[in-house]
Structure 1
């Protein structure tokens, strides 16, 4: 088998597979290294499509993947919000920070921004206050 993934250090080399493993949905080959040790190599790195992969200046992700990621993040935020309610923390502060946005992020203007997108001093101070409270909660283990 040839390693076709161009970002692998042994790209273009022929390797001998001595076995295979499965990790969830992924199949990995066990290959012998030049020094005699064994290593795992994802099987997709030996497929023709791996050679076509390239780094681009702007990411190209299918919109469906971004939507799925958004759903996962919203679910995680919901779990955090539920945990903070059970712990009896400052509900107003926790919900302000952990509530998922009502509309798309692209449609939202930064806090305190005017129609040109500039942030006024009050908006910037509010953002600093939120960041400060997050840092305080992290540093004191969530206790005030």
Structure 2
């Protein structure tokens, strides 16, 4: 069984997950439900040791923060939601990748504004300057 008590995660000075309690028991189906950007993936990354957290997390009664990664890997498996990028691209740069190669059908004068227009269309217009790696899994999708 995995249990999380009072888990909080702060990234870049911003609290992403705040005082969460969670339990997943063997033989039961557990779900973490919430809108995109609400911290679901961040919570799971904390519980897998990928992100630092405050609070207490245990796996079969043992403190997860005290386990070595190799030891934890023998007790649980992790399937990431998406593959991480190797370079610190902004969201704007990721969207602009769709214009590379000249096959986008966009006229030369239009392409400078297109990433912002595309982001606004999917309600992400405030994200253009953020780093892609800092987005939640839902926001990346």
Q: Shared fold by TM > 0.5? A: no
Greater RCO between the two (CA within 8 Å, min separation 6)? 2
Scaled by the length of structure 1, what TM-score is found? Answer: 0.26
More helix by share: 1
Q: Which has the larger radius of gyration?
A: 1
